[in-house]
Structures are given as structure tokens and as C-alpha cells.
Amino acid sequence: MELTFSVTHTTKVGFAKSFADFAGSLGHDCCFLIDRSLESLAGSLPNDRLFYIDGEKEKDLNHVESCLEWLIDLNAGRRTTLVAVGGGATTDFAAFTASVYKRGMRLVLVPTTLLSAVDSSIGGKTAVNFVAKNTVGTFYPADEVVIMEEFFKTLTPQQVASGKAEIIKLALIKGGKLADMVFAADDLLSEEAITLAILGKYEIVSADFTDTLEKRIVLNWGHTFGHAIEIYYALPHGMAVAAGMVLVQEWAETVGAGEVFPAKELEKLLQKHGVKNDLQKYRDENKWRKFIMLDKKRNLDRISMVYLKKTGVPGIIYRNSNDILRDLEELR
């Protein structure tokens, strides 16, 4: 499939059988940025054209500088292809680096997690951590995203659940066939489900590529609480967002938002697909809540709280951050 984000940004998305076949099809003018946990993949690749990153631990400006120095030493040009292989932290880092090197070099992403395949690799947002998570970034879609289901077979149950949570989020925001698959408890690891999730995210992103029209913001469902939980508990992103989705539905019910997709129904739906969180812990524990103030969707002291009214219909409540913290006391 081909996703056209703007006149200058088009991303080709496809599936490949194996990394060996994919690597063998590449031309000579390319270099590889690989998650350190995947060093075994690099056996047939030239050592001088490899750069390793240790996921979220090294997703920062210091390592961007090291990567840029490496690209300069390689004499890489704008038409040189940077191939990134790894999860969301790796693809975020690679995309940011590619976007700033000589004002943009060719970029191919090979997501190795389900979450990255349907989320961070699609939509063109790049980021590195500075003071807080993802505070420095650009908009720079990859030229190509190559999905290899062989990587998904190596994921832990929690990593699979993290990716499924993102698919469920997209399905309930968009409605349609993917939502039907979610309610029917169909296989969300299938090529059909992954393709529908990618197309669902693309449809939202393409209407608001630079996130300025409050259309793309609906993808933030679960993120205000989820990011705070992720930071405090070091929980995988998808699992934290899943917790945030349920909690924001409870919050919307508490503040009287009108029509709200029932939080208990959402929790049961997530559990049906193996996405299980200790929600009572997050209700009782206060310490994660201070991180709500780091929400990127905050405008001065107002936060755009995305919730789900019903399948296919998201909503937004604008609320003062201190009021949100007081509201959360009622969930305890």
C-alpha cells in the first residue's frame, strides 16, 4: 500500500518474509541503525555501516550527535538510505536523525514489534527524549516501512499485548471492520488486522499531518494518564496507554461527560485480547499523577482529554490540570 502524507512525503508499506531476503534486496548506498538486542541480525552486514542503539535508554540528543558523526564519517548523502531495525524507540530515534541529517535523508523502517508496526512507524512523528519523553522531534515519514511477521513470533506476551492495545485503540476510534474484528475476538496479529490498523491511523494522520487541526489529537486517547503511568512504572507504552484508556473512560464517567463508552466494557474487551493491567494499583497510587503535567497536549494549564463516546466516535474535554488531579481522587 502507499500512504501519501503530503506532496513531499509518501510512505510505501509492505510485508516481507524474512530480514535476510529484505537485506539482500537493498542497494549498496545504505547503512543500518539497529537495536542492540538484535545484533545477531548484523552477521551478513558490513560492520562499518552499522550503528547500534540501546532502545529507550539511548534515545537522546547525545546519541543523535554520535549517530550524525557516524553518518558524516561514512560520507552519507541525502540519497543514502538509513535502514532502522527495532522497536518504537529505535524507529523514533532513526527517523529524527534522518530528518535532521542534511535536512533529510532517505529512511526505511523495519519495525520488530507489533506496537511499532502499527503506531510509531506510521504517521511521521519522530522524537528523542530531552528532560521528558519525546519532547524534541520533527515530522518526517519514512520512505518505506517493511513489516516482517517473523519478528512478532519472538515477542514476549506483554509485548504482544502492548501492540494489541494500540490496534484496539485505533479500532474503537475508527469503527468499521477492524472494530468488528476486535469485538469478535479475531486474531489481531493477522496481516489483515495489521493492515487495517495502519490504514486507520493513516486516515487520521493524513487529515492533520502536523498535528495542528485537532484531528490527529484523537490518537491521544489514553495517553495523558498512560504516559504518566509509563514514566512512573516503566511500563511498556502500549500497556500503559491501555491502562490510560480505561482510566480516562472512568474519569469521563465521573465528570459527567454524557455519552461514554463504558469503562468496564472496555476493560473486559482488552482482557479478551490478553491486555491485562493492575488498574486498582493505578487508582490507588498517587505518585504517577505528577507526570500528567508533562503532557505534550497541554496548552498553558489546559489539557485536551480525549475519551471515547461510542465505537467510532471519540470526544475531547478541555480541563484544567489541577481539576483533573482533583477529579482523579474520586476514582480512588
For the chain, list the domains and their CATH numbers: 2-152 (3.40.50.1970), 157-329 (1.20.1090.10)
| Stretch 69-80: mean pLDDT | 96
What is the tens place of the pLDDT at every residue in 167-212?
A: 999 999 999 999 999 999 999 999 999 999 999 999 999 999 988 8
| Stretch 230-257: mean pLDDT | 93
Answer yes or no: is pLDDT of 221 > 70.
Answer: yes
What percentage of the chain reaches a pLDDT higher than 90? 72
pLDDT at 330: 73
What is the tens place of the pLDDT at every residue in 251-307?
A: 999 998 899 999 999 999 999 999 999 999 998 888 898 888 777 666 657 889 999
| Stretch 21-47: mean pLDDT | 86
144: CB partners within 8 A, 6+ apart: 11, 12, 13, 14, 107, 108, 109
pLDDT at 7: 61
| Stretch 142-168: mean pLDDT | 94
Task: Give this prediction's pTM.
Answer: 0.91
Answer yes or no: is pLDDT of 137 > 80.
Answer: yes
pLDDT at 14: 93
* Banded model confidence at residue 24, pLDDT cuts 50, 70, 90: confident
* Banded model confidence at residue 323, pLDDT cuts 50, 70, 90: confident
Comparing CA positions, the residue from 171, 198, 121, 155 lying closest to residue 272 is 171
- Measured CA to CA in angstroms, residue 310 lies from 39, 171, 191, 193, 218 at distances of 44, 11, 26, 21, 13
Please give the residue that has the higher pLDDT: either 19 or 34.
34
pLDDT at 51: 96
pLDDT at 298: 67
